[in-house]
C-alpha cells in the first residue's frame, strides 16, 4: 500500500517521501486505517519515528 492511500497531510507525505519511503510495511498497513486517519492527528505527530 502506498502512503498516499492513508490520507495523510501533504506535509507529512513530503517528509515520508524525502526519507525515501513510498510503500508501507505490512505492519503499518494493519495499524494505520486507510482514509479514516485524521490529518490533524498525524500532522502533530510528525516528530515521531515509525
pTM over 0.75: no
Domain that holds residue 20: 3-43
List pLDDT tens digits, range 21-49. 999 999 888 888 765 555 555 555 555 55
Q: pLDDT higher for 36 or 18?
A: 18
Q: Is residue 37 part of a domain?
A: yes
At 17, is the secondary structure helix, strand, or coil? helix
Domain count across the chain: 1
Q: Is residue 24 part of a domain?
A: yes
Q: Is residue 49 part of a domain?
A: no
Q: Is residue 34 part of a domain?
A: yes
Amino acid at each position: 500500500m502506498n502512503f498516499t492511500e492513508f490520507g495523510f497531510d501533504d506535509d507529512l507525505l513530503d517528509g515520508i517521501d524525502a526519507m525515501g519511503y513510498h510503500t508501507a510495511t505490512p505492519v503499518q498497513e494493519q495499524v494505520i486505517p486507510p482514509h479514516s486517519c485524521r490529518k490533524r492527528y498525524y500532522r502533530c505527530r510528525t516528530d515521531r519515528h515509525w
